[in-house]
Amino acid sequence: MSKRFIISVIDDLSGSGTPDEIVAIDEFNDALRANGQWIFAGGLAAPVNASVIDNRNDANIETGKPLFPTPENFSGFWLIEAESLEVARQLAFAGSKACNRKVELRPLL
């Protein structure tokens, strides 16, 4: 039975991929689709566009800032299906190589 994972791309900018990196990412995406491992992928806007919302107990709070104001952030992600954690790790290594960025791999619950 397949498990689902998120591969988050770590960068200090958003939309910073070079033309060669974009080609490699497209090829990685095509391979995920061809192997039935693709669920969804997307890029994220820069953290300057983020805002933390807290409406617990009708608090109606919006910070206008990201949760973590750090130089590194998530600039994109892949949602994938893999037969095992080991296969997901292999895909994370391939994704990191394709986008030329560090990535974080996490299983979905």
The CATH number linked to 82 is: 3.30.70.1060
What is the 3 state secondary structure string of 46-94?
Answer: CHHHCCCEECHHHCCEECCCCCCCCCCEEEEEEEEEECCHHHHHHHHHH
Q: Tell me which residue range forms the domain holding 53.
A: 3-107
The pLDDT assigned to 60 comes to: 97
* Number of domains within the chain: 1
Question: In this model, does residue 14 exceed pLDDT 90?
Answer: no
pLDDT attached to residue 81: 98
Q: Summarize pLDDT for 60-93 with one digit per residue, the tens.
A: 999 999 999 898 999 999 999 999 999 999 999 9
Q: Stretch 28-56: mean pLDDT, rounded?
A: 97
pLDDT score recorded for residue 69: 86
Q: For residue 13, is pLDDT > 80? A: no
